[in-house]
Amino acid sequence: MTLMMFILLIFILEWNYFSVRWNTASAYREMLGTALFASDALFTTPGDPPGWERLGNISESSVHAIGLADSRNILNGDKLERLSELNQSDSDYQLVLERLGMPGYQLHFTIMDLTGESVYYEFGRPSALNNSVTIERLVLINQTTAAVAKVDVWR
Amino acid sequence: MALKSRGFVITLDAIAALSFMLLSLYFIQTTSFNPTILKGTQLKDFSLDTLTVLEKSGRLGDLITGDSTAVREVLLASPDPDCMQFTLSYLNDTQIAVIDKPGCGGIGNEVQVDYGLYDYGGQVYKTTLKSWYNVEVG
């Protein structure tokens, strides 16, 4: 009887360990996937409509997708500036998350020089808990300046 | 006459159950949860970014004229676990320059290869970027 109880206890503990690992890995996979899709949308597409940055009022009905590129990896300064304006209010920030297909997640990205010493641009809400998934992309600013975009996604 | 010694009776079904449980425990302990497909996509994205940036920033022009510094800067900016080897060649595959990201050494096992074409002064060149994860770092 004691042996059976001992075996059962080991099995329950192992099962719990398995569940924790599985849930942690699932959450990580989801965040990594979200970060990849968001970075693709931001740095390789112009958004929809392509000239969304020129719209007077940005709302759910007027903008369907947010993108910062004129063409793949070439970022548009006007789009970056407009995104900065949307960073000022929480409702606009939430709208950006929704239009990037990541409601329920938080986003923070920085665009910096190749050595990582100077930050050219920053958007979003950084995580205070070091619980984010980070991916990096290479982009061009003003057609000539190569830069690294570091994208953090967290919950 | 009463028997004083005590012991266990292990039946065949108990052995089968115990084996099944031990196998389950082994499976639980050794299962890997690393999202390899997404990691591969991440590497692919960064490789394509690198080729695009090299082509569109004019850095390949510098390489053709003999200065590889600008290309090396871009390769060095990749995340630490990423290893890369960039090759510039003529369309007949004659190599002009091969540039490795420092600290990688050799070619890894699971290599992704991306190709591109680059027009410089009326001459078309072929660009090849091999990328893989440095297992020691990643």
Looking at residue B69, which CATH number applies to its domain?
3.30.1140
Residue B4 covered by a domain: no
**What pLDDT, on the 0 to 100 scale, is given for residue A15?**
84
pLDDT reading at B32 higher than 80: no
Residue B28 covered by a domain: no
pLDDT reading at B127 higher than 80: yes
Taking CB atoms and an 8 Å limit, are A18 and B28 in contact across chains?
yes
Q: Look up the ipTM and state it.
A: 0.85
Residue range B70-96: mean pLDDT, rounded: 94
Q: Does A112 touch chain B (CB under 8 A)?
A: no
Q: Does B40 touch chain A (CB under 8 A)?
A: no
Collapse the DSSP code of B8 into the 3-class scheme (helix H, G, I; strand E, B; otherwise coil) and give the result: coil
Residue range B104-130: mean pLDDT, rounded: 89
Residue range B51-73: mean pLDDT, rounded: 93
* Cβ-nearest to B52 among A39, A73, A135: A73
**What pLDDT, on the 0 to 100 scale, is given for residue B2?**
62
pLDDT reading at B136 higher than 70: no
Q: What domain count does chain B have? A: 1
**What pLDDT, on the 0 to 100 scale, is given for residue A13?**
87
Beta strands in chain B (DSSP E): 82-90, 95-100, 112-120, 123-133
**What pLDDT, on the 0 to 100 scale, is given for residue B5?**
72
Taking CB atoms and an 8 Å limit, are B33 and A135 in contact across chains?
no
Residue carrying structure tokens 């020691």:
B136
Taking CB atoms and an 8 Å limit, are B49 and A138 in contact across chains?
yes
Of A1-10, A26-35, B127-136, which range is least confident? A1-10
Q: Does A144 touch chain B (CB under 8 A)?
A: yes
**What pLDDT, on the 0 to 100 scale, is given for residue B16?**
86
Closest chain B C-alpha to A45 CA, distance in angstroms: 13
- The range of the structural domain enclosing residue B45 comes to 36-133
Of the two residues B129 and B9, the one the predictor is more confident about is B129
Q: Does B21 touch chain A (CB under 8 A)?
A: yes
| Per-residue pLDDT tens digits for A104-120 | 999 999 999 999 999 99
Q: Does B16 touch chain A (CB under 8 A)?
A: no
Residue B88 covered by a domain: yes
Exposed / middle / buried, residue B52 (Cβ in 10 Å: 0-12, 13-18, 19+): buried
Residue B61 covered by a domain: yes
Of A130-139, B5-14, B16-25, which range is least confident? B5-14
Taking CB atoms and an 8 Å limit, are B28 and A15 in contact across chains?
yes
Mean pLDDT of chain B: 86
Residue B9 covered by a domain: no
Among residues of chain A, what percentage have pLDDT more than 90? 72
**What pLDDT, on the 0 to 100 scale, is given for residue B3?**
63
**What pLDDT, on the 0 to 100 scale, is given for residue A10?**
84
Residue B117 covered by a domain: yes
Mean pLDDT of chain A: 92
Tell me what percent of chain B is helix, strand and coil, each rounded to the nearest 5. 40, 25, 35
Length of chain A as a residue count: 155
Taking CB atoms and an 8 Å limit, are A114 and B74 in contact across chains?
yes
pLDDT band at A41 (very low <50, low <70, confident <90, very high): very high
Residue B16 covered by a domain: no
Residue B113 covered by a domain: yes
Strands across the sheet containing A74-75: A69-71, A74-75, A133-141, A145-154, A106-112, A119-124
pLDDT reading at B29 higher than 80: no
- Residue to substitute from B26, B30, B53, interface A, most A β-carbons within 10 A: B53
